[in-house]
Amino acid sequence: MRPILMKGHERPLTFLKYNREGDLLFSCAKDHTPTVWFADDGQRLGTYRGHNGAVWCCDVSRDSTRLITGSADQTVKLWDVQTGTQLYSFNFNSPARSVDFSIGDKLVVITTDPFMGNPSTIQVKSIAPHPSDLLTIKGPQGRINRAVWGPLNKTIISAGEDSVIRIWDSETGELLKESDKESGHQKTISSLCMSADKSHFLTGSGDKSAKLWDSRSLTLLKTYVMDRPVNACAISPLLDHVVIGGGQEAVNVTMTDRRAGKFEAKFYHKILQEEIGGVKGHFGPINALAFNPDGRSFSSGGEDGNVRLHHFDPEYFSIRM
């Protein structure tokens, strides 16, 4: 395939998100400016100006009219997708790390980092009819890297630096389930991706593995092993594939020529857990991965500031294991 390189960001990428129809790609980076691109040819549509810190995460509403972004400048901002105007800003006492729209786009779950004595929190806010606070959950130690809505908005699933996945009741904030310490991840969980129907999700961790879990029972389903710490993961909506992208052990940093384009996103068969292949090209660790909802293309964002958009060759769809 001929990847399309999008060099709009000057700093490392942090997150990538497609809209529901798969024609827009939103990219967040440490350079304060989330950007939206056309997902078919990679042309830039626009940027959202207003943040003063690294933008960690974003989510887009189902009708692609609202974008929400969480940033290290201690705000979460709501934007109009088409014009780039900022509609609302939630303020916090600490950097906001993860944002996720609920099904129906009326609520949003936000996580904030531990900062200056404040512990990390998971907060639920409502967007419509008007912005208001609903719930605050405190409890996990360390940074919560990602929190998403569970199936039917009944639960919130969170994962973070303490390598434990927790499922909370979204109305009362009560802790319902925790992942098992032995079989779960051993190091910080860097990323979490729900399947298209939210029945299972994939977590990537610094312990060089990614694990697939059931959303309701939190049973460990599959484990995929890499040779490097995992920074990003994604589940294909079309085939039984998962893709994981990682970084590099700190020990090896000085020995690798980062210009060689050797960092790859690895594809695994979701059920057989076997490696299908790797797609090279990034000049730095891969920090973000996302599949287009139609499953025919995917994009990766790296520490090098580049977004690479890949449309699969026809051979991809006939891979047999």
Number of chain positions touching another protein (CB under 8 A): 54
Residues 199-258 that bind another protein (CB under 8 A): 257
Select from 33, 121, 123, 299 the one that contacts another protein (CB under 8 A): 33
Amino acid identity of 153? N
Select from 153, 195, 275, 293 the one that contacts another protein (CB under 8 A): 275
Closest approach of another protein to the CB of residue 74, in Å: 22
Of 231, 299, 212, the closest CA to residue 19 belongs to 299
Q: Which stretch binds another protein (CB under 8 A): 38-46, 97-105, 107-115, 161-169?
A: 38-46
| Residue 280 engages another protein in binding (rule: CB under 8 A) | yes
Q: Which stretch binds another protein (CB under 8 A): 102-110, 184-192, 218-226, 270-278?
A: 270-278
Of 98, 100, 208, the closest CA to residue 150 belongs to 100
Of 275, 256, 255, the closest CA to residue 266 belongs to 275
**Partners of residue 117 on adjacent β-strands:** none
Of 162, 169, 118, the closest CA to residue 144 belongs to 162
| Residue 8 engages another protein in binding (rule: CB under 8 A) | yes
From residue 38, give the alpha-carbon distance in Å to each of 55, 92, 159, 312. 20, 32, 30, 17
- For residues 59 to 98, the per-residue mask of contacts with another protein, x marking binding by CB under 8 A and - elsewhere, is ----xx-----------------xxx--------------
Of 184, 177, 180, 295, the closest CA to residue 234 belongs to 295
Select from 15, 90, 101, 267 the one that contacts another protein (CB under 8 A): 267
| Residue 269 engages another protein in binding (rule: CB under 8 A) | no
